[in-house]
Structures are given as structure tokens and as C-alpha cells.
Structure 1
Amino acid sequence: MILYIAEKPSLARAIADVLPKPHKKHEGYIELGNGDCVSWCLGHLLEQADPADYNPDFKPWRFEHLPIIPDEWKLKPRSQTRSQLAVLRKLIRQSKQLIHAGDPDREGQLLVDEVINYLGASETKKRTAQRLLISDLNPKAVSAALGSLKSNAEFIPLSVSALARSRADWIYGINLTRAYSIQGRKAGYNGVLSVGRVQTPLLGLVVRRDKEIENFVSKPFYEVQAVIETEAGEQFKARWKPSENCQPYQDEEGRVLNRKLAENVISRIKGQPAELVKLTQKRKKENAPLPFNLSALQIEAAKRFGMSAKAVLDTCQSLYERHKLLTYPRSDCRYLPEEHHRQAGEVISAIGANLQTLTEFLPQIDAARRSSAWNDKKVSAHHAIIPTTRQANLASLSQQERQLYELVSRYYLAQFMAPYEYDDTRVDLTIAGGQFIATAHQTLHSGWKLLLSTSEAKHSLLPVLAEGQPLQCVDGLLEEKNTQPPKYFTDATLLAAMTGISRYVADPEVRKVLKETDGLGTEATRAGIIELLFTRGFFVREGKTIRSTTVGRALVDCLPESATTPDMTALWESELSRISQQESSYSSFMEPLTQRLHGLIAQSAEVVIPDTLKALSPAPKKRRTSRTRTGSAAKKPAAKKTAAKQTTTGKKRTPVRRKKSA
């Protein structure tokens, strides 16, 4: 019997639908017509053991227990999924062949691997297990994936990287959360001061931005425009470009801070001839932006519709699992397999049938056009988020579902539209020894911009000019402006900061490394991390902006800088990527972390939490509705999700070492 193990019931049903019938539905699995079975996980069936499961002494939070580092890691069944775990245990024993059908990402790989390992599958079954990679739940796509099975052994490095990440998160989060929460209690704060290797740098990013805004002092600066006239009486404006001699009167961004200097320039150029020293005209083409990955979609949806990152992820998940209108949503890739181009006509037809609002653009769409989005070299386990070939009644969709389906569809259709073409013109002038520049942008062919732009294209034109022609400066205009503080983060800009985190790193060597990583967090976790910081009371929304709270700021102020900046966590992601590519190892990642943890715990002992937080303590809960967790922080939402992504290293159950700080 072949056993297919899917990550979720929806995926299991999609697999069964294309396999031999008739089907018999049992509790927790589907029996196929040929005797094979399709079963499923319910997300994580297992979770990492609590500190108290290793040693009952760890139930109360005490500083002398830290750091807590397991000698051998334990998993335990989640209470609400024990029955499904029992079903899988029976089916794995009866099976002759296992097919791993977890989601096509790092977490999905480990999620099913850990179940197979935990339930004691034989070495032969694990060695011969195959991997089924599905990113589109429609029957045709599922059938194609079933015809392209791979050896699950090929994905062991991906599973190991996920294992390293989850265990490192547990060690880091459990120990530092306990350490700082214990210090907080000394100051009378009875809440949890949660620390995590991704959430805390994100908190630090917002705290620093908020403080920068509050401490910002606006300064005036000045710009000079020359009004130029041709012999035919046509006028245009040119902007003054200060010379190196003006640097003492400029700020670090090149803005002129001295009004008298600007006024002097105006007095010198009025009525003077202007020499056109260089005329540059370039005809340019701009191709459509690539289809979406999850972060790009979350950013664009936040800008257009004001949707939070979590709302975008949840909505996309519904469009993928329930409606089957989108491909796998947790993708970090913006490219498509080259063979997928053969389905372009079907996808375009489905979009046209589903979205009547887009039919006006169909005559401009050429299904034979192949944009740079189709590139096998840039596609790994999953590809960009695109519409499927499914035609459906969109009346059954919610407003947010319709909005996201249409947005994804527009970006897909844009791949088959002509480039945006325009002329760029630059004019370099000399007036009274000073340099002035005029620019113009003229659209020649809107192409894909007709489909994607939210506003009309801007045009800036110049008269017909030629080098050496006589020109006159008839006036000079002084424009006084004021420097503006940075803007508070919004959902869109915070997600953009997480994906482009290298911009916020000062060290050039670290910045170089970070440019090659996926940023702060992953496609699948960013939305949850942002929501966690709201749940913990570290973030608050004010309109569309995201602000840090007093508690969030106090925590950042008490932590070492390395814990509140993105350097460490993004370097983790870089090292984890190297593990998945077999360029590094589990031990080379974990050993330095455990060694460093001793110093971080010792450092926390010297921290004094401000007693002003006492008044901000959250109200005590009336009663727990579930089993007692270790100090409530050991299983914070993000850590709980992370903790589930573990696997056992052996059957022996030994206690955790209580390591003393150096």
C-alpha cells in the first residue's frame, strides 16, 4: 500500500481526486480504489516539549535554571491532534511506500518528516520515501506533480535547515524571554517580556524609527529654478546643481541650507544667457514587474487596499485551498517554470471568464509573449503566485478575495503585454558659471502600465532644443522647503523593510551578506511576527501607522543592541540557506549559538527594568483554559509554531542540562 501524507486535508482531497476510484472515506484518511491511502496532518501534529517536560524544576521561572539547553530534543503530540497521529501511526506501519506531500517549503518539509520519524517508520521506508511537490490544487496540476515525484532524500538538507532554525529559535526565545521577564517582575511588571530572534529586531526597527521622528528638528533648505526662454518665446525650468564649493553650506543629502547663497545665485543668473552644453535623449523600454511572491503581494495589497499582512496571507490561503483560484501562496519566488508557459492560454482564458473587468485588455495580450518571469534557473521548490486555470463564480468570494484574485491576475496578464516605452530627455545648461539641469519624460506607448497603474502617467515636456542654440535666463525662482522627518511605519513599509533589511544595517560587510538573503523572517512567518508584536502589546495601530508602545520601547532599551538589530537574525537565515544547499552543517550553526547564549544570559542579570512599567502590567487572567504552560511565555504564539518544527534525535529521554553562565 502506498501512503500519501499531505500537510492539510484540503491538499489530501486534491491528491485523492486524481487517483483511482472508487474512494472510501475513513476517519482521518481516504482509501483509494487500488488500495492505496491518502492521509494528512492538521498543520503541526507535534510540538516541541516544554522546559518542564525535560525537568519539572523548570516549571517555575527561575534565573538559576538558565540557560536551558536540551541534551536530546523531545517532541510531544499536540493535544488536539492525537487522534490523527494515531491514524498515521497505523497507516505508516501498514504501508510499503511513503509519499511526502507537505507544502513545498522549508516548514512543510520538516512538518511531515518529523511525523514520519516520530512514528517510527523503518529506515527502508524513510530511504525510499518520495516527495510530491504541489503548488496548484487543480486536478491537471496535481496529476502533473504526481508524474514528477522526486526522492525525499534529496530534501534532507532542507529539513535539516528547518530543524536548526526551529531549535535555535526555541533556545534563544525561551531563555531570553524568561531572563528578561524575571527581571521585569523585580520592577513590578507582571507581563511577559517576550524576546525572539526575528520579533525583537523588528520591534527595534519600529522603536528607533519612532524615536527618530520624535527627536527630529526640521530645518529649512533652498532650491533655485532658472526660467529659460528660447528665441521663439517658449519657456521651461532648469534646476540649479550646486558645485563642490557650496558643500560647506549643504547638508549630507546635498540640500542648500544657506538662503543668502541661493539668493545670490538668483541675482547672478537673471537676464544672463544660458548655454546648452549637452542634450541627452534616450528612448527606453520598461518591462512589466514580475508576478508576485507573498511579500510583494502583501506590500502591494497594503498600499492599494489597506490590508494587513496577515489578512493577505489568510485570504490567499483561502483562494488556494478553498477556491483553487491561486497557486501556492507562501512562495518566496517571483519566477515561473519555463514549461508553465504552455498553460498561458488556459490561464488567460480563465481570468477573462472570471473577471469581466479585465476583458477590455485581452486584445492587447499576446499569449505567445515570453517575459523574463519564465526562468527555470530562478525557480526552486515553488514558483510565483499566479491564477490557476479554474473558472469559478466570483460571487462566492469575499471582497478581499476578489481584490487579491484580480490583483494577482493583473500582474500575470501584464507579462503578455507590450513594454512601457518612453523618451527621457536631459538638458545640461551653464548660466553665469553655474550648472543647471532640466529633464523631461514623454510616454510613447503605455503597454502594461494601462493594466497596472493606479493613476495617469505623468508627462513633462521640453521645447525642441539643440546643443548651442541661443537661450536666455529670464528669471530665477527661490523655493524654500523644510526637511521632513521619516514617516511612521505602515503594514506596507514595514513589510518592505523586512524584505529589504540590508538598508538598515551600517556594517558594509554584513549589509553585503544580507542583500543575498531573504531578509528578516520568511515569506511564511512575517505576517505572524507582526501580529505577535501587537498581541504582546509592543505595537499599536494609530490609523494606518504602526507605533511602538511604552512597554515595547522599554524592552528594546534594556536589551543588548545585537538583540534589537537585524544583523544576527538575517545572518542566521544566510547560514540556514547554506545548510539547505549543503554548504554548512547543523552543528556549525548550533554550537556558536549555544556558546553565545551564556553571555547573553549573564548580561541580562545586570539589566534594570524601569519600575514605570509596573502600572502597565496586563490584567491577570481569570483562569487558564488549557494545560499549564511554563510561565506562559515559554509557549508564546510564535514560539509555539516554531516549537512544532522539531524532530527527535533518538528514543532515549534524558533530562536537560542546566548550564551555568560563565
Structure 2
Amino acid sequence: MKLLITEKPSVAMEFAKALKINMNRKDGYIESDGWIITWCVGHLVTMSYPEVYDEKLKFWRLDTLPFIPTEWKYEIIPNVQKQFNIVQRLLQREDVEEIYNAGDSGREGEYIQRLVYMMAKPNPKAQIKRVWIDSQTEEEIKRGIREAKNQSEYDSLADSAYLRAKEDYLIGINFSRLLTIIYGRRVASKINEEKISISVGRVMTCVLGMIVSREREIRNFVKTKYYKIIGEFGNTDGSFKAEWRVNEKSKLFESPKLYNDSGFKKENEAKEFIASLAGKKAIISELKKSKQKENAPLLFNLAEIQNECTKRFKIKPDETLDVIQNLYEKKLVTYPRTDARVLSTAVAKEISKNLNGLMRGYKDEEVQNLLKKMVDEKYSTNLVKTKYVNDSKITDHYAIIPTGQGYENYEKLPELHKKVYNTIVKRFIAIFYPPAEYNKVNVVVDVENETFIASGKVCISQGYLEVLRPQNKAKKSTSNAQNVENNSESSKESEDGIENNLEVFKSLKKGQEILVNNYEIKEAETTPPSRYNSGSLILAMENAGKLIEDEELREQIKGAGIGTSATRGEIIKKLEKIKYIDINSKTQIVTPTQKGEAIYDVVNFSMPDMLNAKLTASWEKGLDLVAKKEIKPDEFMTKLVNYINSKFNKLIVKT
């Protein structure tokens, strides 16, 4: 017999359908000729609390810390004991010759299954194989089973998973207890609560640090007014505006009168500068006309689609993951918990299957028109040599794309799920469309060694924007493109926020003297950074490694973020649940609570590196290196234990 174990019952049903197994449903499993299919219900096994090791550890006391077990204890989660017993009995059956680990294809999925095997002690004669799939379509399930590798080939991934759990356990339990013992009463008094436990986590505390730091940056921000100089120049064809910028030849180069080389600190000094330009000639010193192409953005990974859904639909990242997980289980999209934004070469070569499936099955009029245009215009579907295909940027899974299947489930989906699916579909279709094209102009005007700069661009061909741009903007863009074709370019805002009619630039020539119509002062002011919303916070977590100032270290942990694609949404959810942060339900704007700021202050005083992306990202990088067999698990564990002991010694001395 062959035994296959999935992560949840619904996935087991899809495997049974793909294998054409007779649905002989029993209590907690399916059995037919040659196959048994059973399932976990998420985690069946968990790490034991400290008091299981020693009753004394039930009480939070300084003399019992740090708690670092030499042998780890695990236990069955009580409310799933029945299903564990069923899985255990099946694993131990004498007639089971092959066991297929069909858990979720990622680190956490591996961990869930490995814990079960560790506790259940399978029939030692049975060979255990690992099924690794990118979607739940019938052909992908069959391929995953057909190409299943020996589970031992995933041992390093399992090592990484065990270490992640141990790290979170040790840091959470030890430092939560320590800081609560030392600072708990002080914090409780500060926020007018009777008592409080200070919750610390490897990832959670760092994210809290990001949120509080940003909030205080905004709170302490002092707006600064400054004054820009705008010149209006022209010829017989019309006029245009250009902004003054200091340059090395300017009499004000490195002058203390200026704010950021683009404006004056005082209005009267700006007026004096304008007066000094009176009667001076204006010459075109530079004139560059070019065509610019802009390709469609890369495909969605989980962080990108979470951010997109927060912006569009005002939903939290964990809600987005739930939606995409449902789409995945309905066979509509590929694996959701991915960090990659590109496809593998192998998938790219077969991508016509996905497109054909969309054409046949997805009854969305707009999408069908976009697909029809692809065919009519003969857009290339050969992605292999494009930026959208890169095997080196894929670890476990490629980007999230529609499978072109599962449409029998589509109509029953909630409206939000349909909208998210449509968002994924359009991002996918966009990569087959040509680039958007622009006419771009850059003009530099010289007035007695003072430089005025004007720039602008107008869309002459929408390309992929026809797929991704919102409908009202698309119409506007079409109008612009038509105007260009009719040799009458419309006004277009430049990169400096100044509107210019690009038609006037056509007759300009380098070295030409032009008219000075007037100079004006434009008051501006500095702006604080924006607060995170729940989606932009996910992206900030993903890219946290880039914030590290040490260039060498930044390069060492390149690609490492805070948390993983599978856990970031849950971290934000937990911070909100324990009332360290608030998330506005309408805007999804994230702000710290009084309690969250009090916890931040404690951690910042006692162990500030816990708030720093450098530490958290480097731990995540270490786990990745274990998974890649570049460092040994014992080496990682030794560093972790040394870190905990070192921190305890310093904190005890500090208090």
C-alpha cells in the first residue's frame, strides 16, 4: 500500500481526484486499492511549554532563566489528538510500503509533517518520499507524485524548520520572562494597567521597532518652508516653465542660503536672486529628446500581492494570504507562499497552457479582449530570454500566476476572491504585452551660469499599460497618444511637477537664445515620511536587509528580510491582537499603541539590537544557509545559545 499525507482534508480530496481514487471515505482517511490518503489539520504536534520539563518553570523567576533545554520535548495538540492517532495508526501499518509526504511545499509545511513522523514512528520498512508541487492542478499533482524524491533530500530544509521553531521558542520565552520580571511593573504603571507581560519575539519585536520608529519620526518632524525659483521661457511657438537648480558655476554654489540646492531658506533672498537675473539672456545649453520604453513590472510574489491588495481592496496581509490560499486550493493559481517574482525556464516553456486555459475558461470580458488582442497582434509568448524568467532567483517556488484551470470553482467564489484573482491574471497578461513608449524631453536653460531645468514625457504607445492602468487613466493615456499621432502633444506633468506643453520643445535648438517671460517664487515645504499601511509594512519587512547601513554586512545577508512570506502577515496580526499596534480598518494605516511604545522603550533600553533589522535579517539568513547546507545546524544552534547567554549576562549586570 501507498500512504499519502496532506496538510488538510480539502487538499487530500484534490489528491484523491487527481489519482482517480475511489472515494471510500473512512474516519479521518480515504482508502482504496493500492492507496491510503490521510491528512493533518495544520499542526498536530507542538513544542512543550517549560513547565513540562520542570514544574518549577511554571513560575516566572529570574533564577530559572535562561531556559535552554538539552533535549527537546514535543506533545500532541489536545484538540487534534484524534486525527493524530489516525495518522499514527496508518503510518505504522505493516502493509504500507511507501509513504508520501504531501505537506505544503515550504519550510513550515515540512516542519508540520516531520513533527508527525517524529512522534508517530512510522513503519521502519516503509520508504518516505517528498511530494513537491507548485499548484494543485491534476497534472501537477501527478507530476509531484511521479517525481517524488526521497525525503532525506529535504533534511536540510527540515533542519532549518526545527531551528526556526527553537529560535523563536527560546527568544520568546526567555526574553519575555526576563523583561517582564525586570520591567513589567514599571510598564504597567506607565500605561495604567494592574499588571502586564512583555511579549518579545525574534521577528515581532523588530517589526514593532519599525512601526514605532516611523511614528516618532513623523511625530518629531518639523516642517521646513523653502522657496523655489520657477522661470517661464518661450519663443514664437509658446512658453514653458523650468525650475532653477544650483550648479558648480552658480554664484550660490554651496551657499548657506540654500535648502537642498533647489530652493532658498528665506523668501527675501529668493526675491534678491530673481532681481539679479533681470535683463540677463537665456540660452538653451542642453536639449535632449529621446524615446523611452518601460516594461511591465515583474510578476507577483506573496509580499507584492499583499501590498497590492491592501492598496486596492483595503484588506490585511493575512486576509490576502487566506484568499490566495483558497484560490490555490481551488486550482486557480499557483503556490502562494513564494518570494520569487519570476518564472523558471521549465514553466516558461509551457506557459501557453496557462494562456490557453485562460482563453477557454475565464469568462471576464475585459480579460478576454486583452487576450484576443495578444492573438490578433501576435504578441510573443516566448518568455525564456526575458527578465520574467530567471532560475537563479527561484528557491522553492516561482511567482504567483493563474493556472488556467479550476474554473468549475470560480462562480462560487466570494466577490473579493474574484477581484484578487483578476489582479493576478492581469499582472500575468501584462508581461506578454509590449513596453509602454514615451517621448521624453530634457531642456537646460542657462541664464548667466544659473541653470533652469525642464523635463517632460508623453505616452505615445500604451503597451502593457492597457492591461494594468486603471480604466480612467487608460482613457486619458489613449487621448495623449492620439494627440501625439495627430502632431499635437498635450500638456504632461514633468518629473518636477511642472506642467508644460511639449509642443513648444519641438522648435528649440541647442545654443538658441529664448525669451524670458518672468520669474516666480514657489513656496514649498518638507514632508514627513508616510506611515506604513499593512501592505507597505509587508514590503518593508521583505526588504529589511536593504536598510542595513554596513555595506559588507548588507551584501552578506542580501535577500534576507524579516520573517518569511508565510509568516509576515501573521506577525502583523499578532501585534494587533496583543494591542501593540492599531490598524485602521478603512485605510489599513498602522500606528503603535501606548502599550506598544512602552514595550519599545523597554527593549530599546535593555536590548536595542532586537529592534534592528540587522539582527533579525542575519538570523533569517542563517536559517537559509542551513537549508542550503552551507552551515551545519549545530553551528547555528551554538551561535543562538551564545547570543542568549550573552544577552542575559549583560542585562543582569545592567539591572
1:489-545 CA distance string (max 9 Å, x none): 21122122112213543333333344x124111101011000101111100134522
Partner of 1:297: 305
- Aligned AA for 1:83? K
Secondary structure, counterpart of 2:132 in structure 1: coil
Question: Do 1:369 and 1:415's aligned partners in 2 also have CA atoms closer than 8 Å?
Answer: no
CA distance in 2, matches of 1:393, 1:40: 22
- Aligned AA for 1:553? E
Matches within 5 A, 1:374-453: 374-390=389-405, 391-392=407-408, 394-453=410-469
Partner of 1:648: none
Q: Which moved more, 1:102-111 or 1:62-71?
A: 102-111
Partner of 1:499: 542
- Aligned AA for 2:218? I
Secondary structure, counterpart of 1:361 in structure 2: helix
Q: Which moved more, 1:45-54 or 1:278-287?
A: 278-287
**Residues 69, 252 of structure 1: CA spacing in aligned structure 2 closer, same or farther, 3 A cutoff?**
farther
1:197 Cα deviation after fit: 0.9
Taking only the aligned residue pairs, the percentage that are identical comes to: 28
CA distance in 1, matches of 2:210, 2:51: 33
Are residues 1:552 and 2:560 paired?
A: no
**Residues 250, 399 of structure 1: CA spacing in aligned structure 2 closer, same or farther, 3 A cutoff?**
farther
Question: Do 1:179 and 1:605's aligned partners in 2 also have CA atoms closer than 8 Å?
Answer: no
Select 1:486's aligned residue among 529, 554, 567.
529
Question: Do 1:30 and 1:39's aligned partners in 2 also have CA atoms closer than 8 Å?
Answer: yes
**Residues 23, 242 of structure 1: CA spacing in aligned structure 2 closer, same or farther, 3 A cutoff?**
same
- Aligned AA for 1:157? S
**What stretches of structure 1 of length at least 5 have no aligned partner?**
609-662
Matches within 5 A, 1:336-355: 336-341=343-348, 343-352=350-359, 353-355=362-364
Partner of 1:635: none
CA distance in 1, matches of 2:230, 2:327: 52
Q: Which moved more, 1:466-475 or 1:362-371?
A: 362-371
Select 1:242's aligned residue among 230, 241, 246.
246
- Aligned AA for 2:522? E
1:9 Cα deviation after fit: 1.8
Question: Do 2:183 and 2:602's aligned partners in 1 also have CA atoms closer than 8 Å?
Answer: no
Select 1:537's aligned residue among 579, 586, 590.
579
- Aligned AA for 1:16? A
1:602 Cα deviation after fit: 4.1
| Count of aligned pairs between the two proteins | 602
Question: Do 2:349 and 2:382's aligned partners in 1 also have CA atoms closer than 8 Å?
Answer: no
Secondary structure, counterpart of 1:579 in structure 2: helix
Matches within 5 A, 1:531-610: 531-542=573-584, 544=587, 545-559=589-603, 560-605=607-652
Secondary structure, counterpart of 2:201 in structure 1: coil
1:419-446 CA distance string (max 9 Å, x none): 1112222122211211221112121211
Partner of 1:372: 387
1:285 Cα deviation after fit: 1.8
Question: Do 1:337 and 1:379's aligned partners in 2 also have CA atoms closer than 8 Å?
Answer: yes
Partner of 2:563: 521
CA distance in 2, matches of 1:588, 1:248: 54
CA distance in 2, matches of 1:357, 1:350: 16
Question: Do 1:247 and 1:254's aligned partners in 2 also have CA atoms closer than 8 Å?
Answer: no
Matches within 5 A, 1:154-193: 154-187=153-186, 188=188, 189-193=194-198
Q: Which moved more, 1:594-603 or 1:50-59?
A: 594-603
Partner of 1:645: none
1:76 Cα deviation after fit: 0.7
CA distance in 1, matches of 2:246, 2:597: 41
CA distance in 1, matches of 2:76, 2:409: 40
1:168-202 CA distance string (max 9 Å, x none): 11100111111122234433552321000111011
**Residues 359, 212 of structure 1: CA spacing in aligned structure 2 closer, same or farther, 3 A cutoff?**
same
Higher RCO (C-alpha under 8 Å, 6+ residues apart): 1
1:259-315 CA distance string (max 9 Å, x none): 344323322334432222222223222221121111000011111111111110111
Partner of 1:219: 224
Root-mean-square deviation (CA, aligned residues, Å) is 2.2
- Aligned AA for 1:558? V
Q: Which moved more, 1:66-75 or 1:485-494?
A: 485-494
- Aligned AA for 1:445? S
1:85 Cα deviation after fit: 1.6
Q: Which moved more, 1:366-375 or 1:279-288?
A: 366-375
Secondary structure, counterpart of 1:86 in structure 2: helix
Question: Do 1:201 and 1:566's aligned partners in 2 also have CA atoms closer than 8 Å?
Answer: yes
1:84 Cα deviation after fit: 1.7
- Aligned AA for 1:240? W
Question: Do 1:285 and 1:421's aligned partners in 2 also have CA atoms closer than 8 Å?
Answer: yes
Matches within 5 A, 1:25-44: 25-33=25-33, 35-44=34-43
CA distance in 1, matches of 2:184, 2:286: 69
CA distance in 2, matches of 1:504, 1:337: 29
Partner of 1:119: 120
Structure 1-normalised TM-score? Answer: 0.86
Partner of 1:145: 144
**Residues 63, 276 of structure 1: CA spacing in aligned structure 2 closer, same or farther, 3 A cutoff?**
same
Secondary structure, counterpart of 2:408 in structure 1: coil
- Aligned AA for 1:550? Q
Q: Which moved more, 1:427-436 or 1:255-264?
A: 255-264
Question: Do 1:270 and 1:474's aligned partners in 2 also have CA atoms closer than 8 Å?
Answer: no
Partner of 1:309: 317
Structure 2-normalised TM-score? Answer: 0.87
**What stretches of structure 2 of length at least 5 have no aligned partner?**
189-193, 481-491, 494-500
**Residues 512, 381 of structure 1: CA spacing in aligned structure 2 closer, same or farther, 3 A cutoff?**
closer
Question: Do 2:228 and 2:262's aligned partners in 1 also have CA atoms closer than 8 Å?
Answer: no
**Residues 538, 21 of structure 1: CA spacing in aligned structure 2 closer, same or farther, 3 A cutoff?**
closer
**Residues 190, 88 of structure 1: CA spacing in aligned structure 2 closer, same or farther, 3 A cutoff?**
same
CA distance in 1, matches of 2:125, 2:642: 37
CA distance in 2, matches of 1:253, 1:400: 47
Secondary structure, counterpart of 1:284 in structure 2: strand
CA distance in 2, matches of 1:155, 1:254: 56
Matches within 5 A, 1:2-13: 2-13=2-13
**Residues 281, 147 of structure 1: CA spacing in aligned structure 2 closer, same or farther, 3 A cutoff?**
farther
Q: Which moved more, 1:536-545 or 1:72-81?
A: 536-545
